[in-house]
Amino acid sequence: MSGAAARPAGSPGHRCPAMQRGAAALALALLAVLPCCRAHAKPQPHGARDQGNMNVLFIIADDLRTSLGCYGDPLVKSPNIDQLASKSIVFKNAFAQQALCGPSRTSFLTSRRPDTTRLFDHNSYWRTHAGNYTTLPQYLKMNSFVTLSVGKVFHPGIVSNHTDDYPYSWSIPPFHPSTQKYKNAKVCKGPDGKRYANLVCPVDVKEMPEQTLPDIQSTEEAIRLLKKIKSTGNPFFLAVGYHKPHIPLKYPEEFLKLYPLEEIHLAPDPKVPSKLPPVAYNPWTDVRSRDDVRALNISFPYGPIPDDFQVLIRQSYLAAISYMDTQVGRLLNALEEQGLANNTIVVFTSDHGEQRYVMYESCWSLGEHGEWAKYSNFDVATRVPLMFYVPGLTAAFPLPKQRVFPFINPFTGKVGNLPRGSMVESNVELVELFPMVCQLLGLPLPPPCPKPSFHVELCTEGEGMADLWNQGATSVANDESFVFTQYPRPADSPQPNSDLPLLDDIRIMGYSIRSNDYRFTEWVSYNPSTFTANLTDIHAGELYLHMSDPGQDNNLYNNLEFAALVRKLSALIKV
């Protein structure tokens, strides 16, 4: 499931043997846990409404790291997602292609990398800016699925033509919660009793505009659609995009009770690493713009957030996760109550991580590298949760009266020892989601993208898995699995627009390879007028070894001991 995010100018979609081996590693992992699934063979669950069709419920969180109980976080209370994971394939090392909402969502919904969608900011629509690429929901719609969008699925605005790509991708106009327009409103109560547009924003829902919150509205609409659509006779693809735990960290205040402040710890690596290239640092401008953070008068770009406020941010991020988990639990419970849990594939993921948390020596931390946002190529910004529940394959069909997804209240529910889902270690990429869903549904697979592929409407840059499935299990256990990410910058040093440069301002692109053993990044010159990178004009580099440096704090790029490895990986980026 690997591919080339970094490639020579004018040659998008190129694949090298190492990248194909990464795809093969994922395929083998899937074969191990889905032995009865074969290409073009549709699952046949007992008691399904239509024996020939499976539905898909696609749940997308926003800015969610792998800060979940099922990923080993001892602090996070996420019982409903953990319950889903216990019946699913869970990918331990799944990565987005760019740590920004619009580019990431466009990438995995079209199965094209950012260099091919030509989207690195939030200001272009791929159909007119790059190519008329077919999306996952569009492809399913073409194959008789009713396709429905609730909440944040595509990034709203120019990125999706102000329509969430309707009518191409969706059978009816997408639903957006009416309260999302208050996202940055001054509704957060400060110590003085006044209202502010804060980063940390626990609220009394009854005091909010319309007396509700966006994710609550999205859950209610998704449940309404489930009740309505089950009688249509057509299979459905229902995508539900939750806004949390994206900032501002606005959530019902009662979720703070789950996370006493005395249990919250600071990051073990809160300072900017001494060998971190300035171009790799993101100055978390969006966070700085919030009223409560602005009041701290933090110096730009490296000024640290005070320790006591760091703890408040972490506490609220965790509370926002539990709030979102509760909405997921209500949605999954409704799926079961409508008699759909036995013939609906459930996919759960996020568009990218959030650079606040990373598993480090069995301790979850925040503020690593002195940073407080995504906008980078580090694991903490690009690694995401990814799981697939496939009835009858990843979990046995339940006995009569046995519940599949009972709602678990995080305050009172007894989670107990949930059975662990099948955890896959291989590195995988979200660009492979499109063909993976097609594979599970038994639909014809999108062909591999040619080079270049701007003129090709339907193809995938996540090639490799389907071919191996068709061939049967082949051992690739000794092969390396690679994933590729990228991030743009306007300059070699942190600028006010370093986090989110507009296309015309991009001068440098950071191309990154993540393997089982290391993360390697080179920052090279980029010409936004021609959409080309000069891969030989290297401004800076990074090399981190996972075994000795899981927090990615010690940059070994200029260490002579690793010069041969740097040359090898630099050549791989240029292939």
- Please state, in angstroms and as integers, the Cα–Cα distance from residue 452 to each residue in 254, 300, 431, 455, 457, following that order: 52, 41, 17, 8, 12
The residues near 31 (Cβ < 8 Å, ≥ 6 apart) are 468, 469, 472, 473
Which residue, 380, 441, 56, 108, is CA-closest to 240? 56
CA gap 110, 311 in Å, rounded: 38
CB 217 within 8 A of CB 229: no
Instruction: Please pick, among 16, 37, 70, 101, the residue that the annotation labels catalytic.
Output: 101
| The two structure tokens encoding residue 470 | 């068709």
Tell me the two tokens of residue 424.
Answer: 């896959």
Q: Which of 16, 37, 122, 155 is catalytic?
A: 155
- Cα-Cα-Cα-Cα torsion 199, 203, 207, 212, nearest 10 degrees, comes to 90
Query: Is 155 known to be catalytic?
Result: yes
CA distance linking residue 68 with residue 427, whole number of Å = 18
Using alpha carbons, select from 474, 489, 558, 465 the residue that is nearest to residue 520. Answer: 558
The 3-class SS string of 375-413 reads CCCCHHHHEECEEEECECCCECCCCCCCCCCCCCCCCCC
DSSP 246: S
Query: How far lies 178's CA from each of 31, 167, 379, in Å?
Result: 43, 21, 34
Q: Can you list the positions of beta strands (E) in 242-321?
A: 249-252
In 3D, which of 372, 346, 344, 348 has the Cα closest to residue 358?
Answer: 372
The two structure tokens encoding residue 220 = 């209610």
Residue 571 DSSP code: H
Residue 118 CA to residue 107 CA, distance in Å, equals 10
| Residue 539 annotated as catalytic | no
Q: Match 């019946």 to its residue by tokens.
A: 87
Catalytic site positions? 101, 155
